[in-house]
Structure 1
Amino acid sequence: MNAGRGRRQRAPQPLHLCRPAPREGPRYAGVTSPREWLRRRAEPGSAVAGEGAGRRCCCCSLVPMALWRGSAYAGFLALAVGCVFLLEPQLPGLALRSLWSSLQLGPVPPGPGSPESRLAAAWDALIVRPARRWRRVAVGVNACVDVVLSGVKLLQALGLSPGNGKDHTVLHSRTDLEEAFIHFMGKGAAAERFFSDKEAFHDIAQAASEFPGAQHYVGGNAALIGQKFATNPDLKVLLCGPVGPKLHELLDDNVFVPPESLQEVDEFHLILEYQAGEEWGQLKAPHANRFIFSHDLSNGAMNMLEVFVSSLEEFQPDLVVLSGLHMMEGQSKELQRKRLVEVVTSISDIPTGIPIHLELASMTNRELMNSIVHQVFPAVTSLGLNEQELLFLSQSASGPHSSLSSWNGVPDVGMVSDILFWILKEHGWSENRASDLTRIHFHTLVYHILATVDGHWANQLAAVAAGARVAGTQACATETIDTSRVSLRAPQEFLTSHSEAGSRIIFNPNEPVVEWHREGISFHFTPVLVCKDPVRTVGLGDAISAEGLFYSEIRPH
């Protein structure tokens, strides 16, 4: 029956043969089987002779016993399958659906359980390791210690009160901090800013570190991505970045840090978290998220870039992951331009054939972003970014839908698809352009899209599913998806494009990865099972990108 019709199912009918099992009493003495009952019925004068006269039944007619046995076996098989469904409701739905289809028994019935359960089971069946796997991954260059605590409680402890929200590209004071925090908390959006006043930041950082409940974690995109890769014991991971004693202590033993990356003092970033529905004055957060700020000069100048590139010759990686370009926003324009040229030169020294993934982060400087698009994008193979970074990128480089000031709620799938298509068409690989960019992993709270230039990547269906799955498990701090703690919030119907005649997609949880194509570019869409009560939001994007890369396979060219 089609689950989408909304019809009421019939109650299951009891399984019975045309004649019940032998009954008790003298009339049925010695009747031990249907065969014996038929023989006795045919004998003149038998106690059961003539029983059932006037009723016509296929099983009671003179039909070969093989047919009766076949019906019985089919009935017992149906009963057994029913018991399996009752006793094991979480049995992977795809296997049962495949069996049903192979038997050609008609339309495939809906999978058991909630949409979340069916989606999680379908993911597990789809997520497989690629044929060619990474063995050595090098990650750089931003690393720090994250101090994570409640944003509202810290600002209250600093004597600040909720006022009007206002974005600031650079924070110069506590007032700037309060206004920027309110601005992004009201949107439920993530953001990261540089705090220019060293002494003021030191005072705030000290108060945050000593605040009851404050926690210290590995921080910085590069360190977080390296930490996620290190959970796979068959991978060797190199991390280059400013690693102080506290960060070195927090890193996984499987992460190798070259001696040139070690320094005496840690770089601290303050992560002010807020929960969905949390209130401060008249403000109420629509989603759980965080606001990050720091006075980080080492990462801001990308001081470890040259150490990173020089370490690659000895380490011999299969994959390079670069992050930290957003940290240059705290530098002067002259230094930004100079350093960006040096970044491109350093990347160019990495041997051809080693893919380079660039992880973006929150930015406000359109000139810097535009320079990254035109100078750095052609030198890398893959990108990772979220909805804020994608729209800002389009605004900075005059891309599609750049007239939008911000997303209105959940980012429209068709608009996101248009921008991803534009990036790969205008700044990605082609036979007539010197660009290596062939892959973009986009993630937002409720869904992910992987866009790739055809012929360059394999296993992307598994990769996008793995990235979405880890978003649910890491946010809820569980090893596997706990369907009681997550919810499916992705759009159930959407267009694949708004700049051309896109297809209309109706989502089916039993087939959780939707694929479409546009002029030599493939798109893979899957929802996220959003954690209802997230334990920690920091580093989700980095974990998503790392997991997606882990399951990806690049095709040699």
Structure 2
Amino acid sequence: MTPREEFSIEESEFELKLLQSVAVGIVNACVDVVISGVKLLQALGLSPGSGRDHAVLHSRSDLEEAFVYFMGKGAAAERFFSDKETFHDIAQTASKFPGAQVLLCGPIGPKLHELLDDNVFVPPESLQEVDEFHLILEYLAGEEWGPFKAPHANRFIFSHDLSNGAMNMLEVFVSSLEEFQPDLVVLSGLHMMEGQSKELQRKRLLEVVTSISDIPTGIPIHLELASMTNRELMSSIVHQVFPAVTSLGLNEQELLFLSQSASGPHASLSSWDGVPDVGMVSDILFWILKEHGRSKTRSSDLTRIHFHTLVYHILATVDGHWANQLAAVAAGARVAGTQACATETIDASRVSLRAPQEFMTSHSESGSRIVLNPNKPVVEWHREGITFHFTPVLVCKDPIRTVGLGDAISAEGLFYSEAHPD
């Protein structure tokens, strides 16, 4: 069967929920320079050695080791580069490299301001004299460098970004919300604090929670997570920030690292072996909402998590707080295929179905076995007041884009979601 025959969601099934205005903050406004990772590292005179992860990059050799480590796994990652001068030299080489793309991905420098659409309102207080640059090294599925071969396309991001890391625009962003009056607030960039001292991390994290509490009641707040290595910081985010937000968006690496950092289910698992096990993912999502989400005995606002990995998505919601979940999770899966292939609609000849055809809904308890029905690809199940919606993703065979897919997925899912007012 063709992918289109196996995975069919009609347009009529999508119920459109219009958002008139969305405020995006707190941090992580930057200029993204997108380039072939292998070609850039070759231009820097580097050769593939032994792959090795680094929590912080201190040198070009650290960059080479971390890049090939994640390229060999086909996994996305993001790291802070500590040496300002070395990062500047690499950024200069990257920005002048043939084929490099500059994309908009806070602190608004002149280049970023130039890239913004006229409809994007920028508070004057957030303008600054210089831009923050993030370098995004892409690789293709099957691309080889030395002994390393990427199982599928992805990207490795690194930066020396101090403005976003210190969340300099935090207060400016929150103070502008009263006048802007958004229907939704989207926060991101907490991972950027990994480049800061522990003292500053603790101080700013408390100020994040205080600022979020100043956002008018009734406005949903979505937090998008990103790749991290600091378990103490992640644990603090889980315990302090999660109860203050309404919704989360994250991928498989962020989910497992979160569980490892906060002693959640399957925390002993060092990494996913291929496609993340649906039952294990479901267990962790359930634990997050049960331990840190809304309940009769807990004042947390968290009621929704949109999990996305390459071949499937899961939307987990606390019962009674959200509607339109089927359309939301399907829309997120659809945009993953169109964004990666850079097409307006799904082209069946350019995508493949790689999701598990059957799976267990839990490994922590006696979950049920699900067998996918091609005619109804969105599967629903329930567990102690939490509803799960699972859908396969039609994966682009030869991606044109690897940057910003998670953001697009979460944004599309939010666009179709309907939050019930308290």
Q: Deviations over 1:178-220 (max 9, x none)?
A: 1110111111000000001000000000000001111xxxxxx
Greater relative contact order structure (CA < 8 Å, 6+ sep): 2
The answer to whether the 8 A contact 1:240-1:261 is kept is: no
What is the CA–CA distance in structure 1 between the aligned matches of 2:241 and 2:298, rounded to whole Å? 14
Q: After superposition, what is the alpha-carbon deviation per residue over 1:363-394, rounded to whole angstroms, capped at 9, x for unaligned?
A: 00000000000000000000000000000000
For the Cα contact (< 8 Å) 2:32–2:103, is it kept in 1?
no
1:144 paired residue number: 30
Give me the whole-angstrom Cα distance separating, in 2, the residues matched to 1:308 and 1:164.
43
After superposition, the Cα gap between the structure-2 partners of 1:208 and 1:444, relative to the gap in structure 1 and judged at 3 Å, is: same
Distance 1:189 1:239, change over 3 A: closer
Contact 2:30 / 2:105 at 8 angstroms: preserved in 1?
no
- What is the CA distance between 1:399 and its match in structure 2? 0.3
Q: 1:252: how far off? A: 2.8
Looking at structure 1, the residues matched to 390 and 117 of structure 2 have their Cα atoms a distance apart, in angstroms, of 32
Give, in angstroms, the shift of residue 240 of structure 1.
Answer: 12
Q: Distance in 1 between matches of 2:181 and 2:287?
A: 33
TM-aligned CA deviation for residue 258 of structure 1: 1.5
Question: Is the Cα contact below 8 Å between 1:152 and 1:274 reproduced in 2?
Answer: yes
In the other structure, the counterpart of 2:275 is 410
Q: Could you list the per-position Cα deviations for residues 219-261 of structure 1 after superposition, in whole angstroms to 9, with x for gaps in the alignment? A: xxxxxxxxxxxxxxxxx99999111222222223332211112
Alpha-carbon contact 2:104-2:115 (below 8 Å) kept: no
CA distance in 2, matches of 1:511, 1:312: 40
The 1-side partners of 2:153 and 2:69 are apart by: 14
Q: Deviations over 1:125-154 (max 9, x none)?
A: xxxxxxxxxxxxx11122111100110111
> Is there any run of 5+ residues in structure 2 with no aligned partner, and where?
1-22
Deviations 1:152-196 (CA, angstroms, capped at 9, x unpaired): 111111111111111111100001101110111111000000001
Cα distance in 2 for partners of 1:496, 1:526 equals 13
Q: Deviations over 1:36-58 (max 9, x none)?
A: xxxxxxxxxxxxxxxxxxxxxxx
| Cα distance change on mapping 1:288 and 1:528 into 2, 3 Å | same
Distance in 2 between residues matched to 1:552 and 1:408, nearest whole Å = 31
Measure the CA separation in 1 of the matches of 2:208 and 2:39.
Answer: 39
Over 3 Å counting, the alpha-carbon distance change for 1:312 and 1:238 in structure 2 is farther
Q: 1:387 to 1:397 in 2, by over 3 A?
A: same
Conservation of the 8 A alpha-carbon contact between 2:243 and 2:292? yes
- Per-residue deviation, residues 273-320 of structure 1 (Å, max 9, x unmatched): 001110001110111000000001101101111000000011111111
Distance in 2 (alpha carbons) for counterparts of 1:425 and 1:238: 38
Q: Is the 8 A contact 1:237 1:254 kept in 2?
A: no
Check 1:249–1:276 CA distance in 2 against 1; reply closer, same or farther (3 A cut).
same
**8 A Cα contact 1:241 1:261, kept in partner:** yes
Residues 179 and 276 of structure 1, relative CA distance in 2, 3 Å threshold: same
Distance in 2 separating the partners of 1:503 and 1:265: 54
Q: Is the 8 A contact 1:473 1:480 kept in 2?
A: yes
Distance (whole Å) between structure 2 residues aligned to residue 502 and residue 169 of structure 1: 36
CA distance 1:144–1:389, shift in 2 (3 Å): same
Q: 1:355 deviation in Å?
A: 1.1
* Separation in structure 2 between the aligned mates of residue 239 and residue 340 of structure 1, nearest angstrom: 26
Paired residues for 1:58-207 under 5 Å: 138-140=23-25, 141-207=27-93
RMSD of Structure 2 on Structure 1 (CA): 2.2
Contact 2:32 2:102 in 1 (8 A): no
Tell me how far 1:499 sits from its aligned partner. 0.6
Please say if residues 32 and 104 of structure 2, whose CA atoms lie closer than 8 Å, have aligned partners that are also in contact: no
Q: CA deviation at 1:265?
A: 1.4
Distance in 1 (CA, whole Å) between partners of 2:117 and 2:373 is 39
Deviation, 1:507, is 0.7
Q: Which runs of 5+ in 1 are unaligned?
A: 1-137, 215-235
CA distance in 1, matches of 2:313, 2:120: 28
How far apart in 1 are the matches of 2:379 and 2:163? 42
* CA deviation profile, 1:460-490 (whole Å, cap 9, x unmatched): 1100000000000000000111111111110
Deviations 1:44-81 (A, max 9, x none): xxxxxxxxxxxxxxxxxxxxxxxxxxxxxxxxxxxxxx
Q: Confirm or deny: 8 A CA contact 1:169 1:364 kept in the other structure.
A: yes
1: distance between equivalents of 2:278 and 2:265? 13
Contact 1:247 1:266 in 2 (8 A): yes
SS in 1 for 2:272: coil
Residue deviations 1:5-50, cap 9 Å, x none?
Answer: xxxxxxxxxxxxxxxxxxxxxxxxxxxxxxxxxxxxxxxxxxxxxx
In the alignment, the residues of structure 1 paired with residue 104 and residue 198 of structure 2 have an alpha-carbon distance, to the nearest angstrom, of: 28
Q: CA deviation at 1:508?
A: 1.6
Whole-angstrom CA distance in 2 between matches of 1:263 and 1:528:
40
The 1:238/1:546 distance shift into structure 2, 3 A limit, reads: farther
Cα distance between partner residues in 1 of 2:197 and 2:284: 29
- Inter-partner Cα distance in structure 2 for 1:459 and 1:412: 25
Tell me, yes or no, if the aligned pair for 2:33 and 2:102 is still in contact at 8 Å: no
Q: CA deviation at 1:426?
A: 0.4
Q: What is the distance in 1 between the residues matched to 2:54 and 2:102?
A: 36
Structure 2 distance, partners of 1:381, 1:317, is 15
Identity in percent? 91
1:526 to 388, 391, 402: 391
Describe the superposition over 1:394-420 as per-residue Cα deviations: whole angstroms up to 9, x where unpaired. 000000000000000000000000000
